[in-house]
Structure 1
């Protein structure tokens, strides 16, 4: 099974030909998308049909929608939408013994990211089924030295990743880990894993990994490879690179 996760930047705009070119080339079995500004379920269904997928959209109260799309013959048996607890949203589906969550955490506050991560891990982790959570988590992992990446950032953006005492704040990803959803990159990642910036640039990013695929222990045993897609259309389709993860399910 192939999963692809991607923050497509404020609804994709006029970049949809490039976005779809990547998605058609990669042919994911499961697709998680973030920043679907301007999307409702009808528009997502049209996109899903073009890609041969079935989709579930979660609207956002404060931010932007997110979605999970699944390729038949996997049949979606349950859908969830989480809106009020998150700056953006979370969309989740169950298909067979697999639950997939697409989410986009608070970009501004490390403390709010920690609270969002704590709630999501407690709500969606499972000891009996396979659980994947993927998306733009807007935080830094607790097992990497981020000094170089943060040193290049304008102070306005650096504070998004700092604790009150000025140290690097990685509590969001640590909360997922404590809650039973582990970052799968250390287990099967190929390359350095940085997902921002792309060729579109953007002063709010250093060279860092903000987009993740997490899994509970049952699914972590089945991950084969993760990689960040770079080059070609991915350099201008969004300000985030997509992440692809392959599993033996």
Structure 2
């Protein structure tokens, strides 16, 4: 009887250990980053900043990277940069203007390149089994951003998928930030001053949360919720702008906002284990935007 008990105990122990190992083997980490690189490193003239940013991205080792403002880039140039951070697969929205792009460690399936109904365009691709929508919404007009958000919402709802991510430079505020944004009178007044006859970044003179609310209703989850201090998660502007466009250290601090996001489907959001907004240190000089990265634990 004692022999039988010992045999049974060790069998259960070994079986449990094996199943535990099997379960761990079925899950892998997936790191997804978004980065607005600021006018394609001054349309390719700022090679020092380009080299520094490439090295920084390489050190972070994302599996998927969404990029905005690839000014002066074509596919060949993007492939050259992406190879340096370990991504053999790339898709770029367009050549000319302000292209977006996505690079990946795994093959990328192109779903849609749309440059006619969006301010900068919409890139929809699929990699790692996830639909990625790389966005760079209008930087100048709240009504245009709302139209763009509605188009993105329609596309995703037609997918009938539970695995999608929207990421990039949204140029809009989140209703989750209203608790601190509404007290920023100097920021709102500055945006009102910039208003022209055709475009406005405010809605009836107030901060505009409508585009982000539209995207959240798809539904999506703002991955920073519960994983970052939203008021300290500013992604624009950076100290790299000091001395340009009349920017001073004081004005940079006054204008800090969160306008770059990673939104994920509810099912995918449940697998998100970590979010980092890299808004201190080396990234202060690499672009006028700060990058952010989300890490998922997904089934292989």
Q: Return the TM-score normalized by structure 2.
A: 0.75
Match of 1:80 in 2: 112
2:283 matches 1:234: yes
State the alpha-carbon separation in 1 of the partners of residues 263 and 286 from structure 2. 24
- In the alignment, structure 2 segments of 5+ residues that lack a partner are 1-29
Taking the aligned partners of 2:239 and 2:163, their CA distance within structure 1 comes to 35
Residue 51 in 1 paired to residue 90 in 2?
no
Does residue 12 of structure 2 align to residue 12 of structure 1?
no
1:184–1:3 distance in 2 versus 1, CA, 3 Å: same
Is 1:140 equivalent to 2:173 in the alignment?
A: yes
CA RMSD of aligned residues (A): 2.2
1:43: Cα distance to partner? 1.2
Segments of structure 1 that go 5 or more residues without pairing to the other structure are: none
Helix, strand or coil at the partner of 1:241: coil
* 8 A Cα contact 2:236 2:290, kept in partner: yes
Structure 2: distance between partners of 1:117 and 1:128: 18
Instruction: Give yes or no for contact 1:94–1:100 (8 Å, CA) kept in 2.
Output: yes
Q: TM-score, normalised by structure 1?
A: 0.90
Match of 2:216 in 1: 177
Matches within 5 A, 1:1-249: 1-13=30-42, 14=46, 15-53=49-87, 54-59=89-94, 63-71=97-105, 74-125=106-157, 126-145=159-178, 146-149=181-184, 151-152=186-187, 154=190, 155-157=192-194, 160-164=200-204, 166-189=205-228, 192-201=232-241, 203=247, 206-249=255-298
The CA deviation at 1:59 is: 1.4
1:17-36: CA deviation from partner (whole Å, max 9, x where unpaired): 22112101101000000001
Tell me which protein shows more helix as a share of its residues.
2
**1:110-150, CA deviations, whole angstroms, 9 ceiling, x for partnerless residues?**
11101101111221344434101110000000122213445
Question: Which has the higher Rg, Structure 1 or Structure 2?
Answer: 2
TM-superposed deviation, 1:167:
2.1
Q: Which is worse superposed, 143-152 or 117-126?
A: 143-152
For this pair of structures, how many residues does the alignment match?
245
CA separation of 1:23 and 1:147: change in aligned 2, threshold 3 A: same
Change (3 A) 1:132 1:7: same
C-alpha separation in 2, matches of 1:136 and 1:236: 18
